[in-house]
């Protein structure tokens, strides 16, 4: 019915048969190594345990049972019952401590491969389940039924890890515990955001499958939580220090006190690894709690609320009605972030205000003391993992971005292509370290001095900010300048930035046009045109016409230059502009400039030159009749070259058909020859005579 190769020995495989047996084979032999009578009826499936620590097989049979075997001793380790019809398959998951089985009863069952306890039953109403396939890198299981296929997502992609303040990293892979030291990394040659090689070694195993790892604040101990139990190990030697039942665990700041949530309503507090006497946490059995979180106060989250208790007295400090998924305390103990599915809330804890209320003899209810916490900000980011560095909150988002929050605003460190999980921050490296789901380590620069500077600016403490400024890394100055610009401190930003483009933009915003000119003149000529254009526009808005003219000329912005010259009445400049525009092929602009100058002859010449004889003839008849004969000749010649002689001869020529011109041809020529009086654009007199060629 089924064969499977041994993942620990590629030369051996096992077969399952309807004769009720499972046989073990070697590739070099035609005879079975041994035979096991596995089930009372036919055997449908066999699979090897993938780990190196157990010589196990799992089998399914038509007797409706699933069995786990030790193939070395050929003994049955466990029989699992629960399917109401023949199980078609049962497989060990390669990454999770589970066995997945499917049956002709239409259900898929998830079993704990350590305790062999049934964890879950799934039914998709697709008739009988027949086959299964595992995706090893994504914890996904595909199951084939009579009526379709279902892909099931198991567990979570987030790795199980913890890193202490010194950079010692511990994580689990199944039940194997591995360790590395981020502090020793030398990644100066590694590009920002690239994978950093790290030396990893195995330091031991855990007796339970870890769902959470938690370092004590001093880094001496590591708590492993999973399978409804917890075990406290020493971090260096990985020796068992204490253990017990618990679904959630939290350390106090002194690293000697901790709390264990045994079930949703049973909370125990320990000190120096012994249960602490007394009444415990006030009201702790009155609410259903989902998880614990350590810090200066003991935090607990439940459905629709977060509760904070004082570690020593057990009194309620504050109840906050919010749907939370995690709680993060700063190292100073004054700030706390409460993360929900769509946002996070930043609060400030005021212990003095709390103690003052207690000294006043105020009765502390189940709501706690309202003055104990102040809300600083609400940020619409879905936090996945987070760490505090001083008063700086570094976090990753569901949108694959690495951000940090300081003061009351968030800033992006870098986007990422895949989900990242924060390990921690190493001040000596000025880097925040992250890992992907496979625990590959990545680093992103984040200068602590920059964060301190931003914090001082946001507090309005400019004296402190001035003291910190000289200590900022040079490569971070432009980032700081952008921050200052965002705070509307443009003068300071201009002093800080080393980026010429940014400094130029700031000088325009501050109307410091002399500085902008100096910057623009220092830029290579082929890169300067956009700057001259922006400078000209700004100079025009502040009435610096001479600078605007210089800028438009160097930017080759002839259109803007024409409007400026026309507005200022600079006739000589307009004449030069027209010649320049004609030379550069800007014919429309040249025509408009000639027309503004009243130089109709040049307008006609330009139209003829650009093969627009019809337009030239019509324009000449309206504005300069003396030019009509040559424009008509040009028009006729153009038509003849296009083999349209009849059309050419149908065009009236003033030398041949003067009577056809209704305006009276000779009268038109006489009027054109008379001097015209127009306003002097230079403003020297009210009127000036202009000849037919447009010259004053």
- Does residue 492 sit within a domain? no
Mean pLDDT calculated for residue range 223-236: 94
Residue of 133, 154, 18, 13 whose CA lies nearest to 86: 18
pTM score, two decimals? 0.70
- Which pLDDT band holds residue 684 (cuts at 50, 70, 90)? very low
Among 253-262, 278-287, 306-315, 413-422, the range scoring the smallest mean pLDDT is 278-287
pLDDT of residue 676: 61
Residue of 324, 323, 349 whose CA lies nearest to 336: 349
- DSSP SS3 for 71: coil
Which is higher by pLDDT, 154 or 189?
A: 154
- Which pLDDT band holds residue 423 (cuts at 50, 70, 90)? very high
- Does residue 302 sit within a domain? no
Residue 357 has pLDDT above 60, yes or no: yes
- Picking from 129, 153, 177, the residue at the C-terminal end of a domain is 153
Count of the separate structural domains present in the chain: 2
Within its chain, how far is the Cα of 659 from the centroid? 80
Mean pLDDT score across all residues of the chain: 88
- Which pLDDT band holds residue 379 (cuts at 50, 70, 90)? very high
Give CA separation, 118 vs 112, 114, 226, 529, in Å. 6, 11, 16, 73
Q: Are 143 and 132 in contact (CB under 8 A)?
A: yes
Cα end-to-end distance, the chain, whole Å: 108
pLDDT, one tens digit per residue, over 507-520 is 888 888 888 888 88
- Which pLDDT band holds residue 675 (cuts at 50, 70, 90)? low
Place of tokens 């026309």: 566
Please count the other Cβ atoms lying within 10 Å of the Cβ belonging to residue 49.
Answer: 22
Mean pLDDT calculated for residue range 369-396: 93
Which letter does DSSP use for residue 426 in this model? E
Structure tokens at 171: 């994580």
Mean pLDDT calculated for residue range 637-650: 84
Among 184-188, 237-241, 642-646, the range scoring the smallest mean pLDDT is 184-188
- Picking from 119, 137, 153, the residue at the C-terminal end of a domain is 153
Helices (H) and strands (E) in the chain, counts: 17, 45
Q: Please, what is the Cα angle at 307 between 301 and 312, to 5 degrees?
A: 120
- Picking from 100, 119, 153, the residue at the C-terminal end of a domain is 153
Residue 685 has pLDDT above 50, yes or no: no
- Cβ within 8 Å of residue 583, ≥6 positions away: none
**CA–CA separation, 95 vs 437, rounded Å?**
12
Structure tokens at 568: 């200022």
Residue 411 has pLDDT above 90, yes or no: no
**CA–CA separation, 623 vs 612, rounded Å?**
16
Give the bridge partners for 109, in sequence order: 101, 121
**CA–CA separation, 411 vs 279, rounded Å?**
44
Burial class, 88, CB count within 10 angstroms (exposed 0-12 / middle 13-18 / buried 19+): buried
pLDDT, one tens digit per residue, over 561-597 is 787 778 777 788 888 878 888 888 888 888 888 888 8
DSSP string computed for 22-77: EEEEETT-SS-SEEEE--SS-EEEEEE--SSS--EEEEEETTSEEEEEETTTTEEE
Pair type for strands 176-181 and 34-37: unpaired
Q: Are 516 and 541 in contact (CB under 8 A)?
A: no
pLDDT, one tens digit per residue, over 23-57 is 999 998 999 999 999 999 999 999 999 988 899 99
Q: Which CATH number belongs to the domain containing residue 92 in this structure? A: 2.130.10.10
pLDDT, one tens digit per residue, over 544-562 is 878 777 777 777 777 787 8
Q: Please, what is the Cα angle at 288 between 287 and 290, to 5 degrees?
A: 130
pLDDT of residue 27: 93
Which letter does DSSP use for residue 286 in this model? S
pLDDT of residue 677: 52
Structure tokens at 354: 């709390």
Which letter does DSSP use for residue 27 in this model? T
Please count the other Cβ atoms lying within 10 Å of the Cβ belonging to residue 214.
Answer: 20
Give the bridge partners for 123, in sequence order: 107
**Whole domain around residue 679: which residue ranges?**
606-696
- Does residue 109 sit within a domain? yes
Q: Please, what is the Cα angle at 549 between 544 and 555, to 5 degrees?
A: 125
Mean pLDDT calculated for residue range 211-220: 95
Q: Are 177 and 202 in contact (CB under 8 A)?
A: yes
Residue of 122, 215, 129 whose CA lies nearest to 167: 215
- Does residue 671 sit within a domain? yes
**CA–CA separation, 264 vs 201, rounded Å?**
36
Residue of 515, 520, 518, 514 whose CA lies nearest to 534: 520
* Dihedral angle computed from the Cα positions of residues 302, 307, 312 and 314, in that order, rounded to the nearest 10 degrees: -80
- Does residue 374 sit within a domain? no
- Does residue 101 sit within a domain? yes
Please count the other Cβ atoms lying within 10 Å of the Cβ belonging to residue 667.
Answer: 11
Q: Which helix (H) or strand (E) holds 346?
A: strand 344-349
pLDDT, one tens digit per residue, over 85-123 is 999 999 999 888 899 999 999 999 999 998 899 999 999
- Does residue 128 sit within a domain? yes
Percent of the chain with pLDDT over 90: 50
- Does residue 399 sit within a domain? no
Mean pLDDT calculated for residue range 458-476: 87
Residue 523 has pLDDT above 90, yes or no: no
């Amino acid at each position: 019915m089924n064969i499977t190769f041994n993942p620990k020995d590629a030369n051996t495989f096992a077969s399952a048969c309807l004769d009720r047996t499972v046989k073990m084979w070697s590739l070099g032999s035609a005879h079975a190594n041994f035979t096991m009578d596995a089930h009372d009826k036919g055997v449908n499936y066999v699979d090897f345990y993938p780990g190196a620590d157990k010589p196990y097989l799992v089998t399914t049979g038509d007797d409706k049972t699933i069995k786990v075997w030790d193939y070395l001793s050929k003994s049955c380790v466990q029989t699992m019952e629960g399917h109401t019809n023949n199980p078609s398959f049962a497989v060990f998951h390669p990454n999770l401590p589970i066995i997945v089985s499917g049956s002709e009863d239409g259900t898929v069952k998830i079993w704990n491969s350590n305790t062999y306890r049934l964890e879950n039953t799934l039914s998709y109403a697709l008739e009988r389940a027949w086959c299964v396939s595992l995706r090893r890198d994504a914890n996904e299981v595909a199951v084939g039924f009579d009526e379709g296929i279902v892909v099931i997502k198991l567990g979570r992609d987030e790795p199980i890890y913890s890193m202490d303040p010194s950079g010692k990293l511990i994580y689990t892979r199944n039940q194997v515990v591995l360790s590395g030291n981020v502090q020793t990394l030398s990644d100066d040659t590694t590009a920002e955001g690239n994978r950093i090689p790290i030396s990893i070694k195995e330091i031991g195993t855990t007796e339970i499958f870890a769902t959470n790892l938690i370092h004590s604040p001093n880094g001496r101990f590591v708590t492993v939580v999973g399978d409804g139990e917890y075990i406290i190990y020493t971090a260096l030697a990985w020796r068992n220090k204490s253990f017990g039942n618990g679904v959630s665990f939290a350390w106090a700041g002194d690293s000697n006190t901790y709390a264990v949530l045994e079930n949703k309503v049973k909370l125990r507090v320990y000190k120096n690894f012994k249960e602490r006497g007394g009444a415990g946490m006030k009201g702790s059995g009155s609410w259903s709690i989902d998880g614990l979180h350590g810090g200066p106060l003991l935090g607990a989250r439940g459905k629709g609320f977060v509760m904070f208790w004082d570690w020593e007295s057990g009194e309620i400090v504050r109840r906050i009605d919010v749907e939370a998924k995690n709680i993060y305390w700063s190292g100073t103990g004054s700030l706390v972030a409460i993360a929900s599915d769509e946002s996070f809330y930043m609060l400030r804890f005021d212990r003095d205000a709390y103690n003052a209320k207690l000294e006043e003899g105020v009765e502390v209810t189940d709501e706690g003391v309202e003055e104990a916490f102040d809300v600083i900000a609400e940020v619409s980011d879905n936090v996945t993992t987070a760490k505090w560095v001083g008063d700086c909150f570094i976090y990753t988002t569901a949108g694959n971005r690495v951000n940090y929050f300081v003061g009351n605003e968030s800033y992006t460190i870098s986007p990422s292509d895949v989900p990242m999980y924060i390990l921690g921050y190493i001040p000596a490296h000025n880097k925040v370290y992250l890992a992907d789901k496979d625990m590959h380590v990545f680093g992103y620069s984040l200068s602590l001095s920059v964060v301190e500077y931003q914090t001082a600016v946001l507090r309005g403490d400019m004296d402190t900010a001035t003291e910190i400024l000289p200590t900022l890394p040079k490569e971070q100055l432009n980032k700081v300048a952008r921050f200052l610009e965002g705070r509307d401190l443009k003068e300071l930003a201009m002093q800080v930035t080393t980026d010429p483009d940014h400094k130029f933009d700031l000088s325009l915003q501050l109307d410091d046009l002399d500085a902008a000119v100096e910057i623009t003149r220092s830029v290579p000529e082929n890169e300067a045109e956009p700057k001259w254009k922006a400078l000209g526009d700004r100079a025009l808005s502040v009435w610096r016409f001479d600078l605007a003219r210089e800028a438009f000329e160097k930017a080759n912005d002839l259109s803007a230059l024409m409007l400026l010259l026309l507005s200022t009445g600079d006739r000589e400049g307009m004449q030069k502009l027209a010649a320049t525009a004609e030379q550069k092929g800007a014919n429309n602009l040249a025509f408009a400039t000639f027309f503004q100058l009243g130089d109709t002859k040049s307008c006609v010449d330009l139209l003829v030159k650009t093969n627009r004889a019809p337009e030239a003839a019509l324009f000449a008849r309206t504005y300069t009749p003396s030019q009509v004969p040559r424009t008509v000749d040009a028009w006729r010649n153009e038509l003849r070259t296009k083999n349209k002689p009849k059309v050419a001869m149908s065009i009236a020529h003033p030398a041949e058909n003067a009577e056809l011109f209704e305006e009276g041809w000779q009268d038109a020529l006489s009027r054109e020859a008379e001097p015209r009086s127009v306003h002097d654009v230079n403003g020297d007199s009210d009127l000036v005579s202009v000849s037919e060629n447009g010259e004053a």
